[in-house]
């Protein structure tokens, strides 16, 4: 068995390595002239201590003119590197505050750096030595106080957050889509551009469009720059966030927010009920999207809403040979879909076949009378004007972001590959916005309406063919929703 290492007895080599020390010296700018704190004074005292204790000095790490409130010091980083590389087994300082003036940083160095690497820490003036039981006890006491302070900070932070939410303030590091933060605080302000997207998501969902179809539609119209439209969970997150109706939520409880609502409470609660209801029913009845309807056996399923309480309507047998579209608040078959206990929409005279015929006849009128079609378009545009200024503001913002990215690239801080994906996303979003503006231009809008008009010309042929799915597809591409109140029927067209 070998008993020597490099010609030195093994026991002597181990003992010698255990006594290898790094000296750490720090002075701040205001302390350099004070007696006992200068670099030379500290080094002389530490050298004398090492000589008395027979310690071998590996390195003297010095931080002249550095504050003890930060760990971002070159000498301290050299010290940490030596400890983690096992180049020393003892760290010496003149006083504990030379290492750090932060209790948290001191404990991190003692526990996570020195003791974790079996390196003793010695403060000469305070007889603080972690190689002794008393020294380790002191570390434990300091750690206990630090843990107590961390817990107190956590409690104070939680209580402060709860109180702010109760007062109506939003709690979160990122503003939800549709909002932006007011400068310097977490107060929400409506974003003129992205709030349009939120309203459109609710409009599509409440008109019967499925989550996947909403995602495809939003991605096609706005591009991927603002939101992850490809995920149903992301769409559901918008629909279930009470912030959009002017509320903030804490542990399931809602409080009035100090911010402006983007949608009405009626629309939010309707969307929430529908999301809940869809978990327990056959979702095929609600998978009506632009061009991708479901396969229900009723033309208007997913489009009908009660004109009194706002609840959805569905087809139900009222006799052996007759079916009617019934308001959920009247039928009371699903608690999640009930909007009112006093809905008056009980007396509308239309059977399913009669109401379907009303809608079919209205589409036929559009398909054969261009003047009637144009008048309908004008009326819809008056009700749903496009916010040109918000879209133009977003285009200008995209141009600024693109310019900043290119400036960073030109300074050499990043390579082109690192920003190319972001540049591509911004470019795609800008093109979508420009298309939206262009489509609202009178000449372009006229071309779009001409295309819709031409698609209507085949409606009679589709009816004659008896192709239910083709009829559903066309009807759901033309209509956002149909509102029924007793004898009154209101159609909201989607091509306007």
Could you read off the pLDDT of 225-247 as tens digits, one per residue?
A: 778 888 888 899 999 899 999 98
Q: 35 exposed, middle or buried (CB, 10 Å; 0-12, 13-18, 19+)?
A: exposed
pLDDT of residue 287: 40
d(CA 425, CA 420): 9
pLDDT of residue 299: 80
d(CA 403, CA 185): 27
Q: Would you say residue 15 has pLDDT above 80?
A: no
Residue 440 pLDDT level (bands cut at 50, 70, 90): low
Q: Would you say residue 439 has pLDDT above 60?
A: no
Token pair in block for residue 50: 């090492």
pTM over 0.85: no
pLDDT of residue 47: 92
N-term to C-term CA, the chain = 94
Q: Would you say residue 208 has pLDDT above 80?
A: no
pLDDT of residue 59: 92
Residue 495 pLDDT level (bands cut at 50, 70, 90): low
Q: Would you say residue 139 has pLDDT above 70?
A: no
CB of 87 closer than 8 Å to CB of 20: yes
Active site residues: 28
Highest-pLDDT range among 30-39, 237-246, 310-319, 384-393? 237-246
Mean model confidence pLDDT for the chain: 77
Q: Would you say residue 195 has pLDDT above 80?
A: yes
Q: Would you say residue 23 has pLDDT above 90?
A: yes
pLDDT of residue 293: 40
| Alpha helices by DSSP H, 6-132 | 10-18, 39-53, 74-84, 96-99, 103-107
We find that the CATH architecture of domain 167-280 is: Alpha-Beta Complex (3.90)
Q: Would you say residue 269 has pLDDT above 90?
A: no
Residue 159 pLDDT level (bands cut at 50, 70, 90): confident
pLDDT of residue 312: 86
Q: What average pLDDT does this structure show over 157-169?
A: 77
Q: What average pLDDT does this structure show over 363-382?
A: 74
Per cent of the chain over pLDDT 70 is 78
pLDDT of residue 142: 62
Pick the more confident residue, 67 or 442: 67
Residue 63: φ, ψ to 5°: -125, 90
Rg (CA), the chain: 36
| Alpha helices by DSSP H, 319-441 | 328-331, 352-368, 370-383, 388-410, 416-440
pLDDT of residue 381: 58
Q: Would you say residue 82 has pLDDT above 70?
A: yes
**28-32, 87-91, 123-127: range with lowest mean pLDDT:** 28-32
Q: Would you say residue 309 has pLDDT above 80?
A: yes
Q: What average pLDDT does this structure show over 358-384?
A: 75
pLDDT of residue 81: 93
List pLDDT tens digits, range 454-480.
767 777 777 777 777 778 777 877 787
4-145 folds as Rossmann fold (3.40.50)
pLDDT of residue 50: 92
Q: What average pLDDT does this structure show over 187-213?
A: 85
Q: What average pLDDT does this structure show over 4-13?
A: 46
Per cent of the chain over pLDDT 90 is 11
d(CA 326, CA 347): 10
Q: What residue spans define the domains of the chain?
A: 4-145, 167-280, 355-493
Residue 393: φ, ψ to 5°: -65, -40
């Amino acid at each position: 068995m070998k008993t020597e290492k490099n010609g030195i007895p093994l026991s002597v080599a181990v003992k010698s390595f255990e006594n290898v020390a790094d000296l750490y010296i720090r002075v701040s700018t205001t302390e350099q002239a004070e007696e006992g704190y200068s670099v030379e004074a500290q080094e002389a005292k530490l050298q004398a201590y090492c000589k008395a204790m027979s310690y071998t000095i590996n390195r003297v790490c010095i931080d002249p003119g550095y504050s003890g409130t930060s760990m971002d010091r070159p000498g301290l980083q050299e010290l940490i590197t030596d400890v983690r590389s096992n180049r020393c087994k003892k760290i010496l300082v003149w006083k504990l505050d030379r290492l750090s003036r932060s209790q948290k940083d001191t404990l991190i160095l003692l526990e996570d750096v020195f003791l974790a690497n079996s390196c003793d820490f010695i403060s000469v003036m305070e007889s603080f030595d972690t190689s002794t039981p008393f020294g380790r006890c002191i570390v434990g006491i300091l750690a206990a106080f630090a843990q107590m302070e961390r817990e107190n900070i956590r409690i104070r932070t939680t209580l402060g957050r709860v109180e702010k939410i109760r007062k109506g303030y939003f709690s979160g590091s990122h503003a939800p889509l549709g909002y932006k933060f007011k400068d310097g605080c977490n107060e929400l302000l409506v974003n003129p551009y992205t709030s349009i997207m939120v309203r459109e998501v609710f409009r599509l969902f409440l008109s019967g469009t499925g989550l996947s179809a909403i995602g495809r539609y939003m991605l096609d119209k706005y591009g991927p720059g603002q939101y992850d439209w490809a995920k149903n969970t992301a769409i559901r997150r918008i629909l279930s966030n009470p912030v959009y109706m002017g509320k903030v939520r804490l542990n399931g409880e809602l409080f009035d927010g100090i911010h402006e609502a983007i949608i009405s409470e009626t629309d939010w609660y309707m969307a929430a009920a529908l999301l809940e209801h869809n978990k327990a029913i056959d979702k095929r009845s609600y998978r009506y999207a632009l061009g991708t309807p479901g396969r229900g056996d009723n033309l208007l399923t997913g489009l009908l809403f009660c004109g009194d309480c706002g609840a959805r309507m569905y087809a139900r047998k009222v006799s052996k040979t007759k079916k009617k579209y019934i308001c959920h608040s009247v039928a009371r078959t699903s608690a999640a879909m009930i909007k009112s206990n006093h809905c008056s929409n009980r007396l509308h005279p239309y059977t399913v076949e009669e109401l379907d015929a009303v809608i079919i006849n209205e589409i036929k009128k559009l398909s054969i009378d261009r003047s009637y079609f144009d008048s309908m378009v004008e009326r819809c545009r008056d009700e749903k004007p496009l916010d040109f200024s918000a879209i133009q503001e977003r285009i200008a913002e995209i141009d600024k972001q693109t310019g900043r990215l290119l400036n960073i690239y030109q300074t050499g801080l990043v390579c082109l590959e690192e920003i190319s994906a972001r540049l591509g996303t911004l470019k795609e979003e800008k093109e979508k916005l420009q298309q939206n503006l262009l489509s609202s231009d009178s000449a372009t809008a006229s071309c779009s309406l001409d295309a819709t008009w031409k698609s209507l010309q085949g409606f009679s042929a589709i009816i004659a063919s008896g192709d239910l799915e083709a009829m559903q597809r066309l009807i759901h591409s033309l209509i956002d929703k149909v509102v029924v109140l007793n004898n009154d029927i209101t159609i909201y067209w989607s091509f306007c």
